[in-house]
Amino acid sequence: MGLRPEELSIARESEQTENCIRAEIYVVEPLGTETVVDVKLGEDLIKLKEKPGFTAKMAQQVRMVFDESSMYLFDKKTGKAIL
């Protein structure tokens, strides 16, 4: 499965969403026009982009939201795109 960093976001406390995965904040990098956030999902680090001013603490548990329509699927053996 593949998703671009700009197609992921962190769900706000009050936000109800179906497409989310529990993750843990690893690092938050404010870069002016955007904030790059690394989250841990199991043993993997995933980057996503948030709006300027986004803050979170290291090891904070969050819900990472994604849009199914922007997801890419790949064959595990060949690495070729399925969809």
CATH at residue 64: 2.40.50.140
Q: What angle do CA 50, 52, 53 make, to 5 degrees?
A: 105
Given a cut of 90, whether residue 5 has pLDDT beyond it is no
Is residue 75 a part of any domain in this protein? no
Domain-embedded: residue 81: no
Look at residue 60 in the predicted model and tell me its pLDDT. 96
The reply to whether 23 falls in a domain is yes
| Model confidence at 30: pLDDT above 90 | yes
Q: Which domain holds residue 31?
A: 5-70
Query: 12 vs 60, which has greater pLDDT?
Result: 60
Average pLDDT for 28-45: 94
Q: The tokens 């819900």 sit on which residue?
A: 63
Give the separation between CA 71 and CA 30, rounded to whole angstroms. 26
Tell me what the pLDDT averaged over the chain comes to.
Answer: 89
In this structure, is residue 21 part of a structural domain? yes
Identify whether 26 is part of a domain.
yes
Residue 14's pLDDT is 67
Domain count, the chain: 1
